[in-house]
Structure 1
Amino acid sequence: MSDAALRAPTDWKGNAMQQRIRRRYAAERRFKLIGLAAVLLSAAFLAFLLFTMVSNGARGFTQAQVKVEIDFPGSALFLDPATLEGPSAEATLATADIDAAVRTAAERQYGSGGGNLLAEGAWLRVREAILEEPAILSRSQSFWLPASGNIDLAAKTDAAPEDERLYGQLQQRDAVRTAFNSHFLSSSDATEPTSVGIWGAFKGSLLTMLVTLALAFPIGVLSAIYLEEYAPRNRWTDLIEVSINNLAAVPSIIFGLLGLAVFLNFMHLPRSAPLVGGITLALMTMPVIVIAGRNAIKSVPPSIRDAALGVGASRVQVVFHHVLPLALPGILTGTIIGMARALGETAPLLMIGMRAFIASPPGGITDPATVLPVQIFLWSDEVSRGFVEKTSAAIIVLLVFLLAMNGLAIYLRNKFERRW
Structure 2
Amino acid sequence: MNSPPPSPADDAPTIWNSPAMTRRLRRRYAAERRFRLIGMAAVALSAAFLAFLLITMVAQGIGGFTQTRVTLPVDLAAAELPVEPARLKGRGADLALAGAGLEHAVDGAATLAFGADGTDLLSPGAWIVVRDAVKADPTLLRGTTRFSLPVASAYDVAAKGEGTPEAEAVVARLKARGVLSTGWNLTFLTDADATDPTRVGIWGAAKGSLLTMLVTLALAFPIGVLAALYLEEYAPKNRWTDLIEVSINNLAAVPSIIFGLLGLAVFLGTFGLPRSAPLVGGLTLALMTMPVIVIAGRNAIKAVPPSIRDAALAIGASRVQVIFHHVLPLALPGILTGTIIGMARALGETAPLLMIGMRAFIAAPPQGLTDPATVLPVQIFLWSDQVDRGFIEKTSAAIIVLLVFLLAMNGLAIYLRNRFETRW
Scaled to the shorter chain, the TM-score interval is over 0.9
Q: How does 1:246-325 map to 2 (within 5 A)?
A: 246-325=250-329
Name the counterpart of 1:18: 22
Is the contact made by 1:61 and 1:180 (CA closer than 8 Å) also made in structure 2? yes
Aligned residue among 108, 127, 133 for 1:123: 127
Is the contact made by 1:9 and 1:16 (CA closer than 8 Å) also made in structure 2? no
**Per-residue deviation, 1:413:** 4.3
Distance in structure 1 (CA, Å) of the matches to 2:13 and 2:283? 67
Distance in structure 2 (CA, Å) of the matches to 1:360 and 1:174? 36
**Per-residue deviation, 1:409:** 4.1
CA 414–3 in structure 1, closer or farther in 2 if over 3 Å, else same: closer
Q: Alpha carbon RMSD of aligned pairs, Å? A: 1.5
Name the counterpart of 2:352: 348
User: Which structure 2 residue ranges, 5 or more long, are not aligned?
Assistant: none
Paired amino acid for 1:324: L
After superposing the two structures, state which structure 1 stretch, 135-144 or 366-375, moved more. 135-144
**Per-residue deviation, 1:345:** 0.5
Q: How does 1:41-60 map to 2 (within 5 A)?
A: 41-60=45-64
CA 16–413 in structure 1, closer or farther in 2 if over 3 Å, else same: closer
Residue 142 (str. 1) matches residue 129 (str. 2):
no
Q: How does 1:369-380 map to 2 (within 5 A)?
A: 369-380=373-384
After superposing the two structures, state which structure 1 stretch, 197-206 or 6-15, moved more. 6-15
Paired amino acid for 2:162: D
Distance in structure 2 (CA, Å) of the matches to 1:158 and 1:200? 28
**Per-residue deviation, 1:411:** 3.7
Name the counterpart of 2:396: 392
Q: How does 1:8-407 map to 2 (within 5 A)?
A: 8-407=12-411
Distance in structure 1 (CA, Å) of the matches to 2:354 and 2:149? 35
**Per-residue deviation, 1:99:** 1.6
Taking structure 1 as the reference length, the TM-score comes to 0.97
Is the contact made by 1:76 and 1:101 (CA closer than 8 Å) also made in structure 2? no
Distance in structure 2 (CA, Å) of the matches to 1:121 and 1:75? 19
**Per-residue deviation, 1:412:** 4.1
**Per-residue deviation, 1:48:** 1.0
Q: How does 1:405-416 map to 2 (within 5 A)?
A: 405-416=409-420
SS of structure 2 residue aligned to 1:142: strand
Q: Deviations over 1:174-193 (max 9, x none)?
A: 11111110000011111121
Distance in structure 1 (CA, Å) of the matches to 2:46 and 2:416? 30
**Per-residue deviation, 1:361:** 0.6
SS of structure 2 residue aligned to 1:73: helix
**Per-residue deviation, 1:235:** 1.9
Distance in structure 1 (CA, Å) of the matches to 2:91 and 2:275? 33
User: Which structure 1 residue ranges, 5 or more long, are not aligned?
Assistant: none
**Per-residue deviation, 1:76:** 4.3
Distance in structure 2 (CA, Å) of the matches to 1:303 and 1:255? 40
Q: Deviations over 1:165-222 (max 9, x none)?
A: 1101110111111111000001111112111111111111111111100100000001
Distance in structure 1 (CA, Å) of the matches to 2:414 and 2:370? 30
After superposing the two structures, state which structure 1 stretch, 97-106 or 269-278, moved more. 97-106
After superposing the two structures, state which structure 1 stretch, 258-267 or 95-104, moved more. 95-104
SS of structure 2 residue aligned to 1:69: strand
Paired amino acid for 2:194: A
SS of structure 2 residue aligned to 1:9: helix
SS of structure 1 residue aligned to 2:67: strand
**Per-residue deviation, 1:4:** 4.0
* Sequence identity percentage: 70
Q: Deviations over 1:21-50 (max 9, x none)?
A: 111111111111112122212111111111
Q: Deviations over 1:223-274 (max 9, x none)?
A: 1111111112222211111111111111100000000001001111000011
Distance in structure 1 (CA, Å) of the matches to 2:7 and 2:262? 78
**Per-residue deviation, 1:2:** 8.7
Taking structure 2 as the reference length, the TM-score comes to 0.96
**Per-residue deviation, 1:87:** 3.7
**Per-residue deviation, 1:6:** 7.2
SS of structure 2 residue aligned to 1:359: coil
Is the contact made by 1:325 and 1:416 (CA closer than 8 Å) also made in structure 2? no
**Per-residue deviation, 1:95:** 2.8
